[in-house]
Amino acid sequence: MTYYESGLLRARWASWQDARAGRTAQANARWGWIKAPGERGPILWMQSFSDADQQRLGIELAKAMAEKRRDLRMVMTFETEYPALLEQYTEGAERLGYGFGPCDHPQAVGRILERLMPLRYLALGRAPRPRLAAALGRRKIPAVLMAADPGLQIPAPLEAVYPRDARQAGAWAGRRVTEAVQEPVDFTTLFTIAQVDPNFRTMISGTDEGLLWWTQGLSAAQWAGWRRAWAASPLSRHGLLFLGGTGAPADLPRLSAWQRAPLPAGAVVVADDDRWYPALSAGAQAVHLQNASPMLQWQVYAGSRPISVSPGVTLNAAEPLDADTILTLEKPAQILDHWQALRGDAMAARQRGDATRRIFWQERRHAGERLPEFLQRVFDW
């Protein structure tokens, strides 16, 4: 189960359910029974909560920190496990242990801090919950927060905050921790795949002229509307539509099961494997993001394709974007009409794609300049 707040009975119930289902490690970790890797060296505790992007960020930072400081042991805890991500990216990560983390009950918080005795605490993606924040303060364990909005209780001592963008930096502005708040930076740009073999479009369509269109972030209720709009669109005569999200219909082919054979024009394919996202980002004529994590957004930006988003999507960029760079559209028919117009105006499509790619590279260069500063901080601990 996924309960990680501070309620005693609910946390006990969650652990009982986990143990009953064979998830003994998760049940024990919820109450702080966690062991650090290795035998010697100071410990950094990284908490990545439930976000896959933040787990990936923690892994990549761990690799960089291991190179900078050879004595540091790192423990990354999470509340949702992504086995494929962990298997794919932790290979070669030295002195990194990972597993489920504790709930916010004082017993669990106290136990993990006693067992780890961390030199520092690093929160990824959100601020620590109130009981943990208070316990860090009582034990005088300095905290570093990365890509996190302010929490109900700010841990003290607070060593540094690395906001992801200007919006997040603004959220910290009134919290009386000005000296700790750093200039916005998004380190996930450093491991976004920026160069992709361009053959995907030809392979999946069977022709150099094959047109690919991609929408990501659908809910279960939105698939039928997209399929109807696609069937009625002229784009379906010569192109392929890739749809990603939750609740995909069982009758649609999956990209994860693609056998490297061309698909017929008009096909609708479920984009269910993130390993293909870089190829889709570079190969699609245009991309619409119904909902998307920051990491996926950077991947799409790097693909240099025109992008549109649904209302409510928070866009990546350290500074606010020009409204003409990424359009806000909502209904499938409206989006398909926009794509049809882009097909007839190749210059406009290229200009918009180039604009988002420039944003990506600007942020990536900035992150590359800031990473040595962060690593020096780690070295100085």
Residue that the structure tokens 């245009």 belong to = 286
For residue 289, what pLDDT is reported?
96
Res 310: pLDDT? 93
CATH number of the domain encompassing residue 241: 3.40.50.2000
d(CA 274, CA 296) in angstroms, rounded, equals: 9
How far is residue 263's CA from residue 35's CA, in Å, rounded to a whole number?
49
Percent of the chain with pLDDT over 90: 81
Which run of H or of E encompasses 361?
Answer: helix 346-380
Question: Phi first, then psi: what are they for 86, rounded to 5°?
Answer: -65, -40
CATH number at residue 35: 3.40.50.11720
Phi first, then psi, for residue 109 (nearest 5°) are -65, -45
Q: What's the rounded mean pLDDT across residues 325-335?
A: 92
Longest pairwise C-alpha distance within the chain: 66
How high is the pLDDT of residue 207? 78
Give the domain range for residue 302. 198-364
Which residues touch 97 (CB under 8 Å, ≥6 apart)? 35, 36, 37, 73, 74, 75, 76
Residue 281, burial from CB neighbour count under 10 angstroms (0-12, 13-18, 19+) = buried
Q: Give the helix/strand (H/E) hosting 270.
A: strand 268-270
225-243 per-position pLDDT tens digit? 999 999 999 999 989 999 9
User: Where does the pLDDT of residue 92 fall: very low under 50, low under 70, confident under 90, or very high at 90 and above?
Assistant: confident
Report the pLDDT value the prediction gives residue 319, as an integer from 0 to 100.
60
Question: pLDDT tens for residues 171-220?
Answer: 998 888 989 999 999 999 999 998 887 789 899 988 767 799 999 999 99
Q: Pick from 147, 191, 6, 2: which is nearest to 81 by CA? A: 2
Domain for residue 239, yes or no? yes
Q: Indicate if 299 and 268 belong to the same structural domain.
A: yes
- pLDDT over 90 (residue 312): no
Q: What is the pLDDT of residue 38?
A: 79
> When comparing pLDDT for 206 and 303, which is higher?
303
Q: Is 84 helix (H, G, I), strand (E, B) or coil?
A: helix
Cα 171 to the chain's mean position, in Å? 20
- Other beta carbons within 10 angstroms of residue 1's beta carbon come to 16
Distance separating alpha carbons of residues 75 and 44, to the nearest angstrom: 6
In the block, residue with structure tokens 């054979």: 261
Asked if the structure places residue 371 within a domain, the reply is no
DSSP-derived secondary structure for 294-326: HHHHHHHHHTT--EEE-TTPPPP-SSPPPTTTS
Is 165 part of any domain?
yes
Q: Kindly provide the residue ranges of all beta strands, DSSP E only, lying in the chain, ordered along the sequence.
A: 43-47, 73-78, 96-100, 120-124, 143-146, 158-162, 211-218, 239-245, 268-270, 286-289, 307-309, 327-328
Reported pTM: 0.91
- Of 59, 70, 69, 122, give the one whose Cα is nearest residue 92: 59
pLDDT at residue 103 is higher than 90: yes
Number of domains comprising the chain: 2
Judge if 179 and 230 occupy the same domain. Answer: no
> 75 falls in which pLDDT band (50, 70, 90)?
very high
pLDDT at 321 over 70: no
- What average pLDDT does this structure show over 311-334? 80
Question: What pLDDT does residue 315 have?
Answer: 83
Q: Are residues 202 and 148 in the same domain?
A: no
Banded pLDDT at 86 (limits 50, 70, 90): very high
Average pLDDT of the segment spanning 36-49: 91
Same domain, 31 and 180: yes
Is residue 318 over pLDDT 60? no
CB of 325 closer than 8 Å to CB of 355: yes
Q: What is the pLDDT of residue 316?
A: 79
> Looking at residue 264, what DSSP letter applies?
P
Average pLDDT of the residues in 274-287 = 93
pLDDT cut 70: percent of the chain above it:
98
Residue 117 counted as domain residue: yes
- Does residue 120 lie in a domain region? yes
Domain identity same for 177 and 219: no
Residue 7, SS3?
Answer: coil
> Does residue 63 lie in a domain region?
yes
For residue 147, the 8-state DSSP code is S
Place of tokens 């500074």: 319
Provide the pLDDT confidence category of residue 322 given band limits of 50, 70 and 90. low
- Does residue 323 register a pLDDT over 80? no
Of 88-92, 119-123, 248-252, 253-257, minimum mean pLDDT range: 88-92
Cis peptide before 130 (omega within 30 of 0): no
The DSSP bridge partners found for residue 96 are 74
Instruction: List, in sequence order, every residue forming a beta bridge with 110; answer none if it has no partner.
Output: none
Tell whether 214 and 353 lie within a shared domain: yes
**What's the whole-number average pLDDT of the chain?**
93
CB neighbour class for 21 (10 Å; exposed up to 12, middle 13-18, buried from 19): exposed
Q: How far is CA 19 from its chain centroid?
A: 29
Supply the angle between the helices 294-302 and 52-68 in degrees, to the nearest 10: 80
